[in-house]
Amino acid sequence: MRAAVIIGSLVSALFDVAVLKYCTGKE
């Protein structure tokens, strides 16, 4: 089950970075 938690945090971290890049690229 620990692997699922690690993958989950990794996905959310990548999602945060993607949103940040999208927001900065929009302006």
pLDDT value of residue 5:
97
pLDDT value of residue 20:
96
Containing structural domain, residue 17: 1-27
Predicted confidence (pLDDT) per residue in 1-27, tens digit: 799 999 999 999 999 999 999 999 987
Q: Is the dihedral of CA 5, 8, 14, 20 positive or negative?
A: negative
Instruction: Please give the Cα distance from 17 to 25 (Å, whole number).
Output: 12
Instruction: Please give the Cα distance from 1 to 16 (Å, whole number).
Output: 23
The conformation of residue 10, written as its DSSP 8-state character, comes to H
Residue 13, SS3? helix
Query: Within 13 Å of residue 26, how many CA atoms lie on the same side as its CB?
Result: 6
Q: What is the pTM of this model?
A: 0.60
Q: How many domains does the structure of the chain reveal? A: 1
